[in-house]
Chains A and B, each alone.
With several copies, the nearest count.
Chain A
Amino acid sequence: MKKIINDPKRVVDESVAGFGLAHADIVRVEFDPIHVVRADAPISGKVGIVSGGGSGHEPLHAGYVGFGMLDAAVPGAVFTSPTPDPIVAATKAVDGGAGVLHIVKNYTGDVLNFETAADLAAADGIEVRAVITNDDVAVKDSLYTAGRRGVAGTVLVEKIAGAAAERGDSLDAVVAVAERVNANARSMGLALTPCIVPHAGEPSFTLAEDEIEIGIGIHGEPGRERVKLEPADRLVDRLLEPILDDLPYERGERALLFVNGMGGTPQVELYLAYRRAAEVLEERGIQITRSLVGNFITALEMQGMSITLLKLDDEMVELWDAPVQTAALRWGR
C-alpha cells in the first residue's frame, strides 16, 4: 500500500485538520467529536444543512461546507458512516432556529446513525428532517433490499438544497426541493482499478489488465458486472443506457450532465467521456444546460468515473446558479 499518510488510524483526523487550516476562511473544524462547520454557523433563521458519511469520498462532504451549500459535514472513518455523537454535535452547531436538514446517502449505516442522531437532536428540541439520496441505477431497488445507493447525485442535492436554505426557504421547502433533485437524478459508475482502504492495506478487489467493473459504488466495492475494457465512447454508452432507461426524457427537456471522476482518473479522460455523453444526449434531443466535470465524489484513488443526469426545472436551474462558496465548489462570490 503506497499512500501519503502517517498512521492509518490517524488519516481522517490529520486530513481534516489540514482541511481546516487550508480553509479557515470558510470552515471551522471541531475535533471532539469531529465535524466541520461553516465559519459563520449557526445562522439565525436559516435552515441548517448537515451531511456526512464515511471519509474517502473527498471533496464530499467537507468540501461543500460554506455559503450556499452545507452548514456542516460529519466525516466518519474511511468508508464508515460516522456515529451519532458528531452528527448530533454538528446538528446543534448549525441550528439557527429554523430546523436542520440531514442529507444522507442511502447506506444502512448512514441511515441508522443519522436516524439515531436525529432522535437525539429532536430530544434537545431541534426540528430535524432527513432526505435520503438514492440515485444509483446500478442497484436494483425493491421493497426487500437495502435499495439504491446514494452516489454522485448527492452533490447536486447538496448544492441545490443549500441554495434554497441560503435564500431563506423554510425547512419544508428545502426538504421538498432536495427530494425533487434526488427524484430527478440518476447515476451509474464504472471502475478501471480498485482502491485501497488505509486500514485494510489491500486493494478492494483485483481486476485483470483488460477488465473493468461496471455498476460500482463509491466504496471500492466490486460492481454488478465485470466486462472487458472497451473504447471510451462505448463505456459512456454503457453508463447512459440504464440512466435513460430508468428516467426517460422527452425531446427538449433540460438536464445537468455531471461526469464525475472516482479519484484516480485524470481530467483528460473525464472530458473525453463528457464529449461522448453530450453527443448521445444531443442525439436524443436532451438539452444539456448545465455541466459539472471533475472529482466531486470519489473512492480514494480509484480509477473510474460515474455519469449523473439531473432533469432540470426552472427552480433547480436558479438554485444551481446561485452563489456558492465552499472549498470544492465555488462561484458567484
Chain B
Amino acid sequence: MGLDITWAVDWVRRSAQVISEHRVELITLDREIGDGDHGENMDRGFQAVLPKLDDLAAGSTPGDVLKLVATTLISTVGGAAGPLYGTAYLKAAAAAGSAVSLDGPAIAAILTAARDGVVARGKAETGDKTMIDALTPAVDAADAAAAAGVDAAGVFAAAADAAEAGALATEPLVARKGRASYLGERSAGHRDPGAESSALLLRAAADAAAASAGA
C-alpha cells in the first residue's frame, strides 16, 4: 500500500510534534558543539508549517506537502538547517512529482534526492559529522529495503533505524563542516544535532507510515 496525502500531512504533524518534544535536547546538543539554536530553529520552522496545512487545496499530493514544508522551512528557519532542510524537502518534492501515492521505490528515490540536495548545497561528505551522516545510511537502507520489495512503510522504518544508528555514530567524529568544525578535536564526543533531527524526522515518517498502513 502506498503513502498518500493523508500520510504526508500526518508526517508533518508528527514532525512538528517530535521536534517540539526534542526542542531542548536539540538545543543542548547544539550548545555543546555549536551555538545552541538548532532545536529553536527547527521548532520555529515546523510550528510555522502547521497552520498552512489547513490551506492545502483539495486534491493536493504528497509532493505538494513536501513543497509546502520546503518553502516554509526556507522562510522561517534560517541558520544552516533552514536552507539545508529546505533544499532536502524541495528535492524530495521534485522527486515525488505529482504522484498521489508513493510506493517503496518512490520513497527510496525521494530520500536519495533529498540527501543529494543537501550534499550539493552543503558540500559535506560522509564522516564530516553533519546530518549527512544520518541521511546517507538512511538512503542506503531505504534503497536496500526497496530493492528487496519491502513496502513504503517498511522502507521508512529501515531508513529511520539507519538514521538513528547514523546519528549515534556521529558522536566520536571530529567535525569538518558546520559550526562544530570550529572546535576541531573538541567536537569529538558529542552527537551532531542535525543528524539527530534528521533521525527524528525519519522516525516520524515511519510512524506516520505505520499508522496509515494500520488504518
**A-B pairs with CB below 8 Å: how many?**
119
Are A84 and B37 within 8 A (Cβ)? Answer: no
Known pairs A77-B44, A108-B177, A109-B80; A83 contacts B74 (CB<8 A):
yes
Are B35 and A82 within 8 A (Cβ)? Answer: no
Are A199 and B122 within 8 A (Cβ)? Answer: no
Known pairs A80-B79, A83-B82, A113-B78; A222 contacts B37 (CB<8 A):
no
Closest-CB distance, A47 to chain B (whole angstroms): 26
Contact segment of B99-107, B140-148, B164-172, B182-190: B182-190
Q: Is B111 an interface residue (CB 8 A)?
A: no
Are B83 and A109 within 8 A (Cβ)? Answer: yes
Are B36 and A222 within 8 A (Cβ)? Answer: no
Residues of B within 8 A of A78 (CB): 37
Residues of A within 8 A of B178 (CB): 108, 146
Q: Is A221 an interface residue (CB 8 A)?
A: yes
Which interface class (under 10, 10 to 19, 20 to 34, 35 or more) fits B? Answer: 35 or more
Q: Is A68 an interface residue (CB 8 A)?
A: no
Are B182 and A139 within 8 A (Cβ)? Answer: yes
Are A76 and B27 within 8 A (Cβ)? Answer: no
Are A200 and B179 within 8 A (Cβ)? Answer: no
CA distance A219 to B180 in the complex (A): 12
Q: Which residue of A lies closest to B128 (CB)?
A: A144
Q: Is A81 an interface residue (CB 8 A)?
A: yes
Are B36 and A204 within 8 A (Cβ)? Answer: yes
A:198-231 near B, CB below 8 Å:
199-200, 202, 204-205, 217, 219-224
Residues of A within 8 A of B33 (CB): 221-222
CA distance A221 to B67 in the complex (A): 33
Q: Is A107 an interface residue (CB 8 A)?
A: yes
Are A145 and B75 within 8 A (Cβ)? Answer: no
Known pairs A77-B44, A224-B183; A85 contacts B75 (CB<8 A):
yes
Are B35 and A221 within 8 A (Cβ)? Answer: yes
Q: Is A79 an interface residue (CB 8 A)?
A: yes
Are A222 and B183 within 8 A (Cβ)? Answer: yes
Residues of A within 8 A of B31 (CB): 197, 200, 202, 204-205
Q: Per-residue CB proximity of B173-210 to A under 8 Å, as 1/0?
A: 00011110111101000000000000000000000000
CA distance A234 to B205 in the complex (A): 45
> Residue A199 contacts which of B34, B40, B183 (CB distance < 8 angstroms)?
B40
Residues of B within 8 A of A107 (CB): 80, 179
Q: Is B76 an interface residue (CB 8 A)?
A: yes
Are A83 and B37 within 8 A (Cβ)? Answer: no
Residues of A within 8 A of B77 (CB): 83
Residues of B within 8 A of A220 (CB): 35-36
Main secondary structure of the interface of A (DSSP, over half): loop
Q: Is A116 an interface residue (CB 8 A)?
A: yes
Q: Per-residue CB proximity of B64-108 to A under 8 Å, as 1/0?
A: 000000000011111111111000000000000000000000000
Are B78 and A224 within 8 A (Cβ)? Answer: no
CA distance A200 to B31 in the complex (A): 8
Q: Is A149 an interface residue (CB 8 A)?
A: yes
> Residue B75 contacts which of A83, A115, A144, A146 (CB distance < 8 angstroms)?
A83
CA distance A83 to B80 in the complex (A): 10
Q: Is A333 an interface residue (CB 8 A)?
A: no
A:105-125 near B, CB below 8 Å:
107-109, 112-113, 115-116
Residues of A within 8 A of B184 (CB): 140, 224
Known pairs A77-B78, A200-B31, A200-B36; A113 contacts B181 (CB<8 A):
no
Q: Is B41 an interface residue (CB 8 A)?
A: yes
Known pairs A200-B40, A224-B186; A83 contacts B179 (CB<8 A):
no
Are B36 and A79 within 8 A (Cβ)? Answer: yes
A:63-109 near B, CB below 8 Å:
76-85, 107-109
Residues of B within 8 A of A200 (CB): 27, 31, 36-37, 40
Q: Which residue of A lies closest to B77 (CB)?
A: A83
Are A112 and B41 within 8 A (Cβ)? Answer: no
Closest-CB distance, A193 to chain B (whole angstroms): 15
Closest 7 CB pairs between A and B? Answer: A112-B83, A219-B35, A109-B79, A109-B80, A108-B80, A200-B36, A80-B79
Other than the given A80-B35, A149-B182, A202-B28, 17 more pairs (CB < 8 A) read A54-B79, A76-B79, A80-B78, A82-B78, A84-B75, A85-B75, A108-B178, A112-B80, A144-B125, A145-B176, A146-B176, A146-B182, A197-B35, A197-B36, A202-B31, A204-B31, A224-B184
A and B contact pairs by CB, cutoff 8 A, 9 listed? A83-B77, A107-B80, A108-B80, A109-B81, A140-B184, A146-B182, A199-B40, A205-B31, A223-B183
